[in-house]
Structure 1
Amino acid sequence: MYDGAFDSVHWRIAVFVKRSSAFTASIVVSAFAFEVAFDTVTDRIWDTLNHGRQWKDLKARLEAASDE
């Protein structure tokens, strides 16, 4: 009567929603993982679009020019 997909969904619901503490913990962990992934992607996009115009790119060039 039940297939494996239903059992998989039922198991996830039983683990993550049955207790409020587990539900809250799963939300906090998911939000933290999303924040890390989002920050990494947006930083990479920003660095790609602004390559050569940021302090980390200009610092070595300016220090070399001031030494001369």
Structure 2
Amino acid sequence: MSTNQPALQPSLVDRIARIERALTAQDLAQMLSVSRITIFKQAKSGRIPSFRIGTCVRFDPKAVAQWLRTGS
């Protein structure tokens, strides 16, 4: 019987889906290991689901998790 420790840990997508607050570009960039600029560019082009609060761009963790699962 193999004990595969990583299988016991929640995936990144599952961890993101459980977050109960809007994510900032910095939050998402750290989680996905990309730059904030990449996150902002992807959001502006509509590739990553995002929304604005005033001038601030935010990300719904459940929408981001779904986007990561489906790739769209």
Please state which band the TM-score falls in when normalised by the shorter chain: under 0.3
Structure with higher Rg: it is 1
Q: TM-score, normalised by structure 1?
A: 0.27
More strand, by proportion: 2
More helix, by proportion: 1
Q: TM-score, normalised by structure 2?
A: 0.26
